Structure 1
Amino acid sequence: MDENTPHHSLRKVLGLAFGLAVVVGSTIGVGILRAPGSIAALTPDAGLILGCWILMAFYIVLSASSYAELTTMMPKAGGAYNYIKRAFGNYAGFLNGWFDFLTNAIAPAYFCIVLGEYCLLVFPQFAGHEKIIALGFLTFFTAIHLPGIKAGSAVQKTTSAIKIVLFLVLIVGCFLAQPLSADAVQVTGQMLAGGGIIAFFKAVQLISGAYDGWMSVSFFAEEDSDPARNIPRSYLLGAATIGVLYVLINAAVLYILPVEAIARSPLAASEAATAAFGSWSGTFMTAVAIFSLVSILNAYMLIPSRIMFGLSRDGFFARQFMAVNRGGTPYRALLLCYAFAFVLICISSFETLFAISVFMMTIVTGFAFASLIRLRYKEPDLPRPYKAFAYPFSTWLALVVTFILFIGFAVSDQLSLFIVLVFTVVSFAGYKLLVKPDNSDTFD
């Protein structure tokens, strides 16, 4: 970075409330409103469905415990690539850092477009201007985050709290309403053929996708005022909150609707809301969806710039992008992420990109778990303010489950596998170009 580039440190102003808000806010989204129907079609048994959600909640809590050890051991901006770099060297860190960046930089564009579509439900007169609305959301949230971290933190805490309240209203409303029979529910769509081990794993894959985002606190570790205390609590309380809410939402939907009706409905949560709230259901579910998306978008406007900041500081990208303003925002990184998302919104080719991002995230998560195991052997004396509970069982279980998911993605999505392999080959040339030979693997 040249002498004229302004540089300030990231500000240590975040705490437990933000950690919980970003975990919950970046995880609970519209997916939980849509997934129950597809899952019921694959596994049309209420007990098995709830069992799958509970099983994955347990997996997420174990995973969060492993991540908490890594993050408190290396409380640096950028997330998992820091741990992977320390455990497996510069190139592994470089590759996974860019996988992680692309995964999270694609997300704001996708969420802005979906927000634009939901806004048309409230303002149908703006039909045909979805892209302009999406770009408006992107620009608005960039403007919020540009001055500093405090405004973004306040928005995250507020929107996450409202979202939880709305979901609790849905849960309570369903349990207080009279359960419906299959004949009383008007549903659309065709029930998929459920049953069998393949259908079970597809259902688990959908559930794991709904839980994605639980590791978000890792990107902000350097900005936490007391990482040794706050980060483990953020991970574990956040993961537990998500798990409990997801199980309760599914229990509420299964209580008010028969499994057969859920399996035939592409929006089972909306069907449940109709039964619980009657004529208010459409407005209520639109509000749930919008606040869910706004909370997620706010989190994903923060995350990519932190990854880019870390990559730039470690020499894995141009040093100019580690510039931080007085408010604690890596503003050049944020503006570059804004430009990237702006272009993606304009070209609107997100289906393939979104599939690729899920594939990349599986790789990063698997490497993160492996790095914990390796560092336990490689550097047993590193300070560890928090240690993963039930280690090595918990971390090995998380690693094995992640590997199974990776194999499933590789078999079912060969295009993403091919693109990731090509990116890996090309990235080595980028690594040689960007990273100096004397770039150290040691933790500082």
Structure 2
Amino acid sequence: MARTTYKPAIASAVIIANMIGTGVFTSLGYQLLDIKSGFVLIMLWVVGGVTALCGALSYAELGAALPRSGGEYNFLSRIYHPMVGFVSGWISATIGFAAPVALAAITFGSYLSAAIPALSPTWLAVGLIVVVTVAHTGRRKRSSNFQSVFTAVKISLIVGFCVLCSLMVDEPQAISFLPKLGDGGLVLSGAFAVSLIYVNYAYTGWNSVTYLINEVDDAQRNLPRILITSTLTVMILYVALNWTFLYVAPIAALESKVEVGYIAAQHVFGEAGASAISAVLSLLLISTVSAMTIAGPRVLQVIGEDFALFGKLARKNEDGIPTLAILVQSGLALIFVLTSSFESILLFSGFILGLNTLFAVAGVFVLRWKQPDLPRPYRTWLYPLPPLIYLGLMLWTVFYIVKSQPIEAAMAAGLIVAGVIGYVCARRWETKPPRAD
């Protein structure tokens, strides 16, 4: 049976759904602890969007020049060394997707249980992961339809939520979104840099289609358009959502809260209406969990193709879907849901994923230097500005995270060391002589 592939529209749906998830519906409350300016808060999302777009432009060149599934695992293995790629793949497999799946599922449970208090948020999260796993371990047509339907629902609900809130709010907040004295210093402050980690986490997923390049129709031609248009779409939706939250709800009510969408709905629709809106907003997280369940296991799959120790992870069904890899990632996500707190997962995963993409974007320069004659169907627009902008913003953010959150930085270092150990073990397994009968 001929293997089917994902159409460009489905690939775009994977990116959009990966990006629009936990971060945009939870991080504003944390940002408000140190930043109260409407202009600066919106600038966070604009700067995060520009960062993601610069990263997408850079990844488009890498994906077109090195067309294989696996994302950073493939890129870093080819650009630097197989060990670097393995560590990156280890990070993607353990934190890059399993942790965000857990976060999105936890947020889904939190929003839905706010609407229906009798339901347990933890078991709602577990149930969502199980249902999505079943949907994506069968035929590709079922997987594609599931993803496209819930992504279309997500975009429609976000637009509808923003329009209804702005039209129906009785008392808009007296917050200015124009720059004022002192905003410039705030934009350059450590508080802005640390808040940008939350924003960058919310934009995480702009690179997700590179994890399944081999399964996208005419990937070398379609990849740049898919990456750029999807990232721009999400940037517009993010700015609109955060403008809406700040326009309809007081800062004091949003500060340090996770369910900012629910709180905003309370101030527009009342308690009963907010419960209904909260249930609706929970539906948005279904496509996020779904998209990550499509993209993430492809990293485990290509690791299994390259290392005999993990060979079983490369097994695919008749439609080319890595069923066992999906089950492993979902199992890890369930462990996170049942054992970890929301904030600890968010800070740790945001930091380690920033390091992962930082090395990949730097690889654009390294690859041009090492292999100048390599065919590049797409070259980064306005090169070298996009990769330089991305690297500058990410390095600035990473510096402040190391400075202000040393525990998360130490945990990231420990995860990297574990990846190196895993690579050494995998290589020794490759060279191990066969057992005598």
Q: TM-score range by the shorter chain?
A: 0.7 to 0.9
The change in CA–CA distance for 1:132 and 1:425 in structure 2 (over 3 A counts) is closer
The change in CA–CA distance for 1:33 and 1:438 in structure 2 (over 3 A counts) is closer
Q: Name the structure 2 match of 1:164.
A: 155
* 1:119-130 paired onto structure 2 within 5 Å: 119-127=112-120, 130=121
Q: Name the structure 1 match of 2:190.
A: 198
Q: Distance in 2 between matches of 1:384 and 1:98?
A: 27
Match among 169, 175, 183 for residue 166 of structure 2:
175
Shift of 1:398: 0.7
Q: Name the structure 2 match of 1:106.
A: 99
* 1:420 corresponds to 2:412: yes
Q: Name the structure 2 match of 1:221.
A: 213
Shift of 1:318: 1.5
- Tell me if structure 2 keeps the 8 A contact 1:95–1:424: yes
Match among 5, 10, 16 for residue 24 of structure 1:
16
Shift of 1:322: 0.8
- Tell me if structure 2 keeps the 8 A contact 1:77–1:218: yes
Q: Distance in 1 between matches of 2:417 and 2:30?
A: 36
Q: Name the structure 1 match of 2:316.
A: 324
TM-score, scaled to structure 2: 0.86
Shift of 1:13: 1.5
Q: Name the structure 1 match of 2:302.
A: 310
TM-score, scaled to structure 1: 0.85
Q: Name the structure 1 match of 2:140.
A: 149
* 1:51-62 paired onto structure 2 within 5 Å: 51-62=43-54
The change in CA–CA distance for 1:259 and 1:349 in structure 2 (over 3 A counts) is closer
Q: Distance in 2 between matches of 1:90 and 1:287?
A: 45
Task: Name the aligned partner's letter for residue 162 of structure 2.
Answer: I
Shift of 1:245: 0.8
Task: Name the aligned partner's letter for residue 54 of structure 2.
Answer: L
Deviation by residue 1:85-131 (Cα, 9 ceiling, x = unmatched): 1111111111111111112123333433443343333443344xx54
- Tell me if structure 2 keeps the 8 A contact 1:28–1:210: yes
Q: Distance in 1 between matches of 2:271 and 2:344?
A: 37
- Tell me if structure 2 keeps the 8 A contact 1:145–1:152: yes
Match among 72, 87, 101 for residue 80 of structure 1:
72
Shift of 1:32: 1.8
Deviation by residue 1:231-272 (Cα, 9 ceiling, x = unmatched): 111111110001111112233344445667665876554444
Match among 339, 362, 371 for residue 379 of structure 1:
371
- Paired-residue identity, %: 27
Q: Name the structure 2 match of 1:190.
A: none
The change in CA–CA distance for 1:203 and 1:326 in structure 2 (over 3 A counts) is same
Q: Distance in 2 between matches of 1:312 and 1:266?
A: 37
Shift of 1:292: 2.0
Shift of 1:364: 0.8
Task: Name the aligned partner's letter for residue 386 of structure 2.
Answer: S
Point out where structure 2 has 5 or more consecutive residues left out of the alignment: 175-184, 432-437
The change in CA–CA distance for 1:182 and 1:25 in structure 2 (over 3 A counts) is closer
Aligned length: 419
* 1:65 corresponds to 2:57: yes
SS of 2:296's equivalent in the other structure is helix
- Tell me if structure 1 keeps the 8 A contact 2:198–2:347: no
Farther off after superposition, 344-353 or 292-301: 344-353
User: Pairwise CA RMSD of aligned residues?
Assistant: 2.9
* 1:38-49 paired onto structure 2 within 5 Å: 38-49=30-41
Match among 116, 126, 146 for residue 109 of structure 2:
116
Deviation by residue 1:183-221 (Cα, 9 ceiling, x = unmatched): 9xxxxxxxxxx9582222233333222222211111111
SS of 1:125's equivalent in the other structure is coil
SS of 2:372's equivalent in the other structure is coil
Point out where structure 1 has 5 or more consecutive residues left out of the alignment: 1-7, 184-193, 440-444
* 1:218-297 paired onto structure 2 within 5 Å: 218-257=210-249, 267-278=259-270, 281-297=273-289
Task: Name the aligned partner's letter for residue 410 of structure 1.
Answer: V
Q: Distance in 1 between matches of 2:38 and 2:69?
A: 42
Q: Distance in 2 between matches of 1:269 and 1:132?
A: 21
